[in-house]
Structure 1
Amino acid sequence: MAKKLLVIGHVWPEPKTTAAGCRMLQLLETFISFGYEITFASTAAKTEFSLNLNDLGITEAAIVLNHSSFDDFLVNLRPDTVIFDRFMVEEQFGWRVAEFAPKALRILNTEDLHSLRKAREEAVKKGWEFSLDQWKNHPMTLREASSIYRSDITLMISPYEMHLLQQELAIPKALLLHLPFLVNRISPKTVQQWPSFEERSDFVCIGNGKHAPNVDSINVLKNTIWPLIRKELPKANLYIYGAYLSQHIRGLHDPKTGFHVVGWAENVDNVLQKHRLLLAPLRFGAGIKGKLLDAMIHGTPSITTPIGSEGMHNGLPWNGTITDDWSTFARAAVELYQHREQWTTAQTNGTVMINTLYQKETLQPQLKIHFDEVGEQLNQHRDRNFIGRLLHHETLTSTKYLAKWIEEKSRR
């Protein structure tokens, strides 16, 4: 009999608009390959970009927040494993899963450390120099760390964030599992099929407009970096792609200066392969940047910042340049754009990173082994996690009764 997986999504997956959507699709496909019977549930409304999960053989379920109908849903489903997609979902539904599906393995999928991204964003907006103390004292860090303790396994996409949690917050390694994006190996045949240096032209920037780091980076490009590049390359163009771009961002469209705001790209693969360089001047953020990984997958070198490349290359040479000095950023972009040999070396560096650090064929079996080992000794695993048990007793008791109060208030 097939095991049952319940995924409780913060939103319905949108793999064509967000890196988080791609990540979720990779996880779902992985559990399908493991033979799981999957149900995906969410309180969110669907959008035009939401993936039709039924096409993958996955059952879709709409659920209600702060309502006992979810308890009945759990009892009837009897999942063997539950994935909370981000810590906010675990806060909302964790106590219900613990109470009504106590034997289910509870997995937290972080996407990135939201608290780290938020603390960095606040530092940038206030003009502060970011420090880890700001992050450690941020209210969201307390919430996120509590959620990690309450879960049996937390999936971390970035090794840097794995290090932070262990070294700065003393979270036991036994509660964490590094699982980056899962990507197919890039073969020599694939490389040969990519458009060449001469067949590509212009620059590209990709980013969902709902994601604050992307909006900030587009503004940096428009106001600071692109004028410097355009001065050296007066015929070059920069194309901005992304779903949910605001009116402000769309208003930056200025073909006379080569700055083109296009909007959503239905086929990101084609967009990346026709451009010579990707620009990502990210001043804040966390996790692994899907746009930079996609660029490597399609042979497109990139210029980004230390924040952009964080946790992505494990000391391997970057497929372009890493800098947070905007003059250096622009010079590097011009240099790489004009010199075929340097560009080809950068492209090769990206291929090496993908094949060394992100191979699906290697990572999926490791994931299954880890889940099976924890699942077989789940009681012992939870007994060793005393802080997690303490937080379930204290924190979730208050959350439980708050939810029941909201439900009763709504009923009346």
Structure 2
Amino acid sequence: MNVLVVGYVWPEPASSAAGYRMLALLDAFRDQGWTVTFASPAEKSIHRANLPARGINEVNIALNCSSFDDFIRVLQPDLVMFDRFMMEEQFGWRVEKHCPEAIRLLDTEDLSCLRHARHQACKHSGEVSLTVGPDLLFSDHAKREVAAILRSDLTLMISRAEIELLTSTFKVDPALLHYSPFMLPPLNRKETEQLPTFEQREHFLAIGNFRHAPNWDAVLWLKQSIWPLVRQQLPQAELHIYGAYPPPKATALHNPKQGFLVKGWAEDAHEVMRKARINLAPLRFGAGLKGKLVDALACGTPSVTTSVGAEGMADTDTWPAPVADDAEAFSTTAIALYRDSPQWRACQQQGFELHDRHFQFQRHADALISRLNLLRADLEQHRLDNFTGAMLRHHTLKSTQYMAQWIEAKQRK
């Protein structure tokens, strides 16, 4: 099969969970012997993955430009995957026009309309926002994203909680959705046994790309409300904060006297996480699955997070860490886990089991490839069954097409 992936950004596996999840999807395609091309209009960063070394072709493409039409007419992909709904809006109509038989696959990474709605709710309340009302959820952002899902033949969802939201609240046909969480190699038990012990570890860690709004909000909440409470009880403890692209407003929070250390970019996120005793992820809003929590499972580092952070990670009775949604409860929980060796070891072992039970690469890769093969064999009927999607392509698709053509014509002047 000839696969084209239209990327919102070039994958940066060391910068974000979205980056290494994208690489896992690309590897799943390549493992089938499929030809894979990754194309993006974004600028290439120094932290991007070396795709050619993985046998993946790289192509730069332009927004609102008919050069993409020429490119895709020659490539003639059998499958096109759009990285987030904005890429489907921009290029979906061009793919349908020039490669009508190609499967159109959408990867949401997370349900961004839910993340945005929770962000707005958090701004109003200042509290953890897991549940939001229809006034915030049914936004223009949601209409665009759900429309892209309906126009696509299949959409990859990283969280079962978001699948439930789409099917129950937005009434999306389950036949259009596929559960595809993080896909990771199984843990090596000999290596996990050699990880630093409770006694060999010290201090707290928080990690996350600073360009991602929930991560920056978490850093501020730590600084203003949570960490002062922790330091009252653990005056020698330190909080080491890592993340790609720290802005000056973040580095300005660095304060050694308070034990609040903004470290910035980590060359090896797993290395710094293995040294920490506790991973803190006080996320007041967000969506999808949290890569920092999955990384912590692999590193044997117990986490303290919120209900937003724990959402979709596991069944409520198997999530191997306490959950707290206000600053006082969060700090109390973090302090207790930091001091309690038996509880810490129990959380670590539950984390190892959860990692291999929920995020095994081969199981999820096989399920995805099987779903795509079934879809390819029955694509015509699948599209006939999705009348709403056909209707949206008939009307909405034309508006995005004409807007793109208008922008292109204007740029020629």
2:2 matched to 1:4?
Answer: yes
Q: Partner residue of 2:219?
A: 218
- Secondary structure of the 1:321 match is coil
Distance 1:34 1:218 in 2: 41
Distance 1:202 1:65 in 2: 46
Describe the superposition over 1:352-403 as per-residue Cα deviations: whole angstroms up to 9, x where unpaired.
Answer: 2112111112111111111100111101100100000000000011111111
Question: What letter is aligned with 1:285?
Answer: G
Q: Partner residue of 1:297?
A: 298
Compute the RMSD of aligned alpha carbons.
1.1
2:18 aligns with one of 13, 20, 26: 20
TM-score, L = length of structure 2? 0.97
Unaligned runs of 5+ in 2: none
Distance 1:316 1:54 in 2: 42
Q: Partner residue of 2:334?
A: 333
Q: Partner residue of 1:286?
A: 287
Pairs within 5 Å for 1:13-412:
13-127=11-125, 131-412=132-413
Distance 1:278 1:79 in 2: 42
Question: What letter is aligned with 1:149?
Answer: L
Question: What letter is aligned with 1:7?
Answer: V
Describe the superposition over 1:163-186 as per-residue Cα deviations: whole angstroms up to 9, x where unpaired.
Answer: 000000110000000010001222
- Secondary structure of the 2:322 match is strand
Question: What letter is aligned with 1:211?
Answer: H
Report the CA distance shift for 1:369/1:65 in structure 2 as closer, same or farther (over 3 A). same
Unaligned runs of 5+ in 1: none
Distance 1:391 1:114 in 2: 20
User: 1:34 Cα deviation (Å)?
Assistant: 1.4
Distance 1:33 1:202 in 2: 40
TM-score, L = length of structure 1? 0.98
Describe the superposition over 1:300-327 as per-residue Cα deviations: whole angstroms up to 9, x where unpaired.
Answer: 0000000001011123432221110211
Work out whether residues 135 and 141 of structure 1, in 8 Å CA contact, stay in contact via their aligned partners in 2: no
Describe the superposition over 1:12-65 as per-residue Cα deviations: whole angstroms up to 9, x where unpaired.
Answer: 111100111011111111111111111110111011211121111111101011
Describe the superposition over 1:205-260 as per-residue Cα deviations: whole angstroms up to 9, x where unpaired.
Answer: 00111001000000111111111111111111100000111111100100111110
Distance 2:235 2:6 in 1: 49
Question: What letter is aligned with 2:358?
Answer: L
- Secondary structure of the 2:36 match is strand
Runs of 4+ in 1 over 6 A off after TM superposition: none
Distance 2:179 2:147 in 1: 18
Work out whether residues 320 and 336 of structure 1, in 8 Å CA contact, stay in contact via their aligned partners in 2: no
User: 1:190 Cα deviation (Å)?
Assistant: 2.7
Which is worse superposed, 274-283 or 118-127? 118-127
Report the CA distance shift for 1:46/1:387 in structure 2 as closer, same or farther (over 3 A). same
Distance 2:197 2:167 in 1: 43
User: 1:135 Cα deviation (Å)?
Assistant: 4.1
User: 1:291 Cα deviation (Å)?
Assistant: 0.4
Describe the superposition over 1:176-208 as per-residue Cα deviations: whole angstroms up to 9, x where unpaired.
Answer: 000100012224323212111111110000011
Which is worse superposed, 126-135 or 214-223? 126-135
